[in-house]
Structure 1
Amino acid sequence: MSSGVEADIVLDAAVVLTLGMNRVLGRGGEAAGRGAQLLAALAAGRAEARAAALAEAETYERAVREVLARNARAEELARTRAELDADVPLPAPLTPGEETVAELTAWCAATDRALDTAEARLAGALAARVGEQVFALPDRVAVPERPAAPDARDALERVLARLLPDAAGPDRDAVAAAARLLAAATTAEDADTALTEVRLRVRDANARTRERRADEKRRAERAEAAEQAAAERGYVLEAITTAFEELGYEVHDGFETLTASDGALLLTRGDWPDHSVKMRVEDAGRVRAAMVRGRAARSADDRRLDAEREEEWCAAFERARTRLAASGVASEVTWRLDPGVHELPVGDPARQTGTRGGRRERGRERREL
């Protein structure tokens, strides 16, 4: 980008953590309060207080995420319970609020035990259902050639109890089909062969279920990463907007065909009738800016005015960097074009594509972090 500047951006860990907590739990409650403490300590420049607040918040955030993971597991088991119409108690979800880290950790440990018990009972309910569906024959299936062998139905239910309760319908059907072979077995050898097939199908079904769980977890992690990246870029955009508005610029969302979601901003001033600055934030990691003219320069006076405006802009950019640093947005200039080196490009004279009301609303949200 000609006639401009590029800078790499690094968000302070306190900002990143605060955005994550507020995104997960919303802007109310304990998480938002801790986030506000973090930013207050950061703004005050108290290194020791900031480090202590950050460490405390990181510990709290980990505990909160553990709670949310248990809530999600309980929700999944609740869906399985409803599908099986099983009378299996599940622990109530917890919405973190005033609890200490120790209390949250203790809740997670107790909930783990309850969820493990519930999952085992649901697996037993599934095994019993499959067994009831399969054995339309007498209540017990005898194995005459091996009278000392375990009862076929009891052996089947022990194997079926290993089937994960959230196994997919096709996997359950495959297991049931193998179980029906056992119900029809008339010899010990046939029974052993059928039971072995049930074991293999249970093993395969569980493997696919665990793979599906892992896929769902990866999708959730990717979605969370995308949401966090969007929150971070939004924070940077709002911080830039606030910094330059405080320096006397008007900041508009988007320019040309771009929108604010693309990280594009247009900076103007009332005393700059022919000049503006196009700025774009790329993935909250880099900012690019360039001064443009609304019409082509026509004289030496125009080009001299260009250089003056570029000097003003460069000085304002440095002042804005200081303001951004106070908000936890550190920047390092990686490329700069000195004023007057190149003729300014001509940009779109249209100045505003966004609304100041939207920016004021986002500003309120940012101040509530």
Structure 2
Amino acid sequence: MSSGVEAEIVLDAAVVLTLGMNRVLGRGAGLAGRGADALAALAEGRAEARAAALAEVRSQERALREVVARNARIAALAETRAKLGADVPLPERLMPDERPAAELTAWCAATDPLLDEAERRLSEHLAAEVSAEIFDVPAEALRADVQQEASRADGDDGAVQSNLERIMGRLLPDASEEERRAVAAAARLLVGAGTPEEAEAVLQEVRLRIQDANGRTERRREDERRLAAERDAAEQAEAERRYVLDSITAAFEDMGYEVQAGFETLTADDGTVTLTKGAWPDHSVRMRVDDAAHVRASMVRERPAESEDDRRVDVEREEEWCAEFEAARARLRDVGISSEVAWRLDPGVRELPVSAGSRQTRARAGQRERGRERHK
């Protein structure tokens, strides 16, 4: 990049954490609460106040993520409950709003055993359905105490049914329909078992199929968690990029620049903006932000330099831009965006390039003029 600068960007921890909280709470990219306090303490050099505010932000963000995880588990169990047609109570999901971290953490601790119990009861419901189908017993009669009742029953059928109920209770309730059918198919072989040995061989096959089904279910759960984490990371990266773009736009607008992107919005979706000033009829600055990690800026001319006076003005504009870029870096530090210049080209070292947009505009104008000449 000629006549320009490249810098590495680092977002302050308070910005990163607060952007994450804002996404969970469904807000924009503005900073509020403890995150703003941490940034203010950073700007004022108050180390202890900053550390305390940042610790509070971390606690709040961690608690919010824990609530989101429980809400996702409640939703998944509710879906399983609907598929099974089971009458199993579930806790209500919590909308975190601006509740303190301690309250969110307490809700998570109280909700975990309720979710474990709901999952256990859903597994029992599934086991009861399969057992009822095999032994032709109404499913309503096979509740959580069926194992205890069956253990008191006389004869081998009661013992076999009890063992099947206990083994089937290990099947995860969100196993797929195909996996549940495979387990049920093995369990139905008990009907034809003529000896205890044959029954035990069938039960062993049921155990193996449940282990296989649970393994696939756990892997599916892990895949879903991984995809959710990837979506979260992508959303966080976009929030950080947007925060940097919005902050750069605000900083340069406050310094008298017009920020344009060639779209209806002030900032382009690809992170490219153009900075212009009323006192710069022949110059502009093209700036690009990549993934909230790098910023590149280059001054360009709107028309070719035609004289030594034009080149002298170029150097003056470059010097002015360099000074104002440093002023903008100071402004951005106050909102948690620090930068380190990785590469810089000093004013006057190279001739300023001409804006590609200006060349295209002139080319189109020339084509139109030639077209008019041909039709005269």
Give the corresponding residue for 1:115: 115
- Structure 1, 227-236 or 107-116: larger mean CA deviation: 107-116
Aligned residues of 1:21 and 1:32 also touching (Cα < 8 A) = no
Q: Distance in 2 between matches of 1:186 and 1:201?
A: 22
- Match of 1:56, as an amino acid? E
Give the corresponding residue for 1:54: 54
Identity of aligned residues (%): 65
Q: In 2 relative to 1, CA 312–109 (structure 1 residues): closer, same or farther, beyond 3 Å? A: same
Aligned residues of 1:18 and 1:38 also touching (Cα < 8 A) = no
Give the corresponding residue for 1:334: 342
- Match of 2:329, as an amino acid? R
SS of residue paired to 2:274: strand
Is it true that 1:217 corresponds to 2:261 in the alignment? no
SS of residue paired to 2:306: coil
Q: In 2 relative to 1, CA 290–99 (structure 1 residues): closer, same or farther, beyond 3 Å? A: closer
Aligned residues of 2:35 and 2:53 also touching (Cα < 8 A) = no
- Match of 1:215, as an amino acid? D
Aligned pairs for 1:308-323 within 5 A? 308-323=316-331
Q: Distance in 2 between matches of 1:302 and 1:173?
A: 81
Aligned residues of 2:131 and 2:137 also touching (Cα < 8 A) = no
Deviation, structure 1 residue 32:
4.6
Aligned residues of 2:18 and 2:61 also touching (Cα < 8 A) = no
Deviation, structure 1 residue 250:
0.6
Which of 252, 276, 282 is the matching residue for 2:290? Answer: 282
Deviation, structure 1 residue 42:
4.1
- Match of 2:120, as an amino acid? A
Q: Distance in 1 between matches of 2:122 and 2:32?
A: 38
Unaligned segments of structure 2, at least 5 residues: 142-154, 359-376
Give the corresponding residue for 1:164: 172
- Match of 1:63, as an amino acid? A
If the length of structure 2 is used for normalisation, what is the TM-score? Answer: 0.85
SS of residue paired to 1:260: coil
Q: Distance in 1 between matches of 2:261 and 2:53?
A: 34
Give the corresponding residue for 2:371: none
Q: Distance in 1 between matches of 2:116 and 2:38?
A: 37
Render the CA deviation track for 1:144-190: whole Å, top value 9, x for unaligned. Answer: xxx66962221111111000001111111111111111222223232
Deviation, structure 1 residue 193:
1.7
Which of 296, 299, 302 is the matching residue for 2:304? Answer: 296
Is it true that 1:233 corresponds to 2:233 in the alignment? no
Q: Distance in 1 between matches of 2:198 and 2:160?
A: 11
- Match of 1:296, as an amino acid? P
- Match of 2:338, as an amino acid? A
Deviation, structure 1 residue 40:
4.2
Give the corresponding residue for 2:22: 22
- Match of 1:270, as an amino acid? G
Aligned residues of 1:26 and 1:32 also touching (Cα < 8 A) = no
Q: Distance in 1 between matches of 2:269 and 2:308?
A: 39
Give the corresponding residue for 1:72: 72
Deviation, structure 1 residue 323:
0.6
Which structure's CA Rg is the greater one?
2
If the length of structure 1 is used for normalisation, what is the TM-score? Answer: 0.86
Aligned residues of 1:248 and 1:269 also touching (Cα < 8 A) = yes
Aligned length: 339
Deviation, structure 1 residue 85:
1.3
Aligned residues of 2:11 and 2:337 also touching (Cα < 8 A) = yes
SS of residue paired to 1:261: coil
- Match of 1:163, as an amino acid? L
Is it true that 1:248 corresponds to 2:256 in the alignment? yes
Aligned residues of 1:252 and 1:267 also touching (Cα < 8 A) = yes
